[in-house]
Amino acid sequence: MVVGNVELPLMPAVAGIRWGGAAAGIKRPGRKDVAVMEIAAGSSVAAVYTLNAFCAAPVVVAKRHGAVTAPRYLLINSGNANAGTGEPGMRAAEASCAAVAAVMGCKAEEVLPFSTGVIGELLPVAKIEAVLPQARESLTADGWADAARSIMTTDTVPKGATRQIVVQGKTITINGISKGSGMICPNMATMLGYVATDAGVDQALLQQLMTQAANRSFNCITVDGDTSTNDACVLVATNKAGVSFNSASDVGYAEFAAAVIEVCQVLAQAIIRDGEGATKYITVDVRGGVNEAECRQVAYTIAHSPLVKTAFFASDPNWGRILAAVGRAGVEGLDVSKIDIYLEDVSIVRGGGRDPGYTEEAGQKVMKEAEITICVELARGGAEAQIWTTDFSYDYVKINAEYRS
């Protein structure tokens, strides 16, 4: 089930971007599982990738191609991750880029490949190659919604976000789509995410913004603590809106950057709301840390705890599990006598022990809600961090037990 509202919005065209797609039958016949993004010449492209040492072949190839040329096409497939496939997987990723180049009339190095799905199986390049002419014919500026559906795996809903702002009298559009539902603990970005704007942005500045946006959004979510082999997020600026940014101090840039970050946050939170088997959307808000890093350390320890997550699924206010997670987070010099913990506005721990005014009835009332905030006050400094996560349900186990069937 989806927790809360995850509706795919009506997404306006972004000048300089076209999407096409086709059904290659990679995993299931008849379902669109190949998407192609066409990027106008003269665009800037920034990306962040997984830090998993077993990064997939398409990640290696995408990083290699992106370092030597300006990308003109992105090729995305679902149903097969092409990860853990060794040198044959590398050749398959390169071959898929060459196939796009032959159909679209560009260089193979101008294609960045992305794959998502089952690990350990070689990419069926022939199936993808066979439908690329169809993908080319379907290229349209209005293809965002179809692309969002094409990149889904265990997602139950497509995920998208859009914002428009006016800078210097010109309208700037920002669109984004993402996929992700399980194996979610990005260590750079999201599982797969694509954001594009018609603003012009200097390449170095765009890369800085992509990293900043990832750290404020996709690097703040976790379903299960597993960082995928295939995580990637791409930010494209086509320079078609008549507004360009060369420096962070340029007029309107702060507003523009905030809009890009907001799009990424909506996408990241949609992934959590659609987490595999999720019945609860949980915000872990840690405040009063010496620095943001230790606040994140505490937040992630809570968010990754199977005992905490299963208690939330059961709507059981077993606050001792939260307390224990804070204590084992590894924060040096932590004074537990100063720690306060809240479920929404219900104080459960005061000064390191059970709040004298706390009642099980008050905790139970909060735990029955679908959206819950855990707030931890460390009383060590002025830093804070937020992490978004889910509970663990029976369905999470079932989905992942049957993932390859």
Q: Which of 69, 74, 64 is nearest to 17 (CA)?
A: 74
The closest alpha carbon to 218, from 235, 196, 193, 236, belongs to 193
Rounded CA separation 54/37 (Å): 26
Backbone phi, psi, residue 222, to 5°: -155, 135
* Candidate list 153, 190, 197, 279, residue with the active-site label: 190
Cβ-in-10-Å burial (0-12, 13-18, 19+) of 278 comes to buried
50 tagged catalytic: no
CB 96 within 8 A of CB 123: yes
Neighbours of 137 (CB within 10 A): 10
Three-class SS of residue 163? strand
The one-letter amino acid at 58: P
- How distant, in Å, are the alpha carbons of 46, 61, 112, 221, 313 from that of 179? 18, 20, 17, 13, 23
Contact (CB, 8 A) for 26 and 117: yes
Are 201 and 226 within 8 A, CB to CB? no
The residues with which 165 forms a beta bridge, in sequence order, are 172
Hey, CA dihedral for 298, 5, 214, 112, is it positive or negative?
positive
> Closest by alpha carbon to 2, among 351, 274, 223?
274
User: Facing residues of 162 across strands?
Assistant: 175
Residues 6+ positions from 165 with CB-CB distance below 8 Å: 171, 172, 174, 252, 255, 256, 259
Contact of 187 with 231, CB cutoff 8 Å = yes
Instruction: Match 């370092």 to its residue by tokens.
Output: 67
**Degrees (nearest 5) of the Cα angle 227, 230, 236?**
115
Instruction: Return the active site residues.
Output: 190
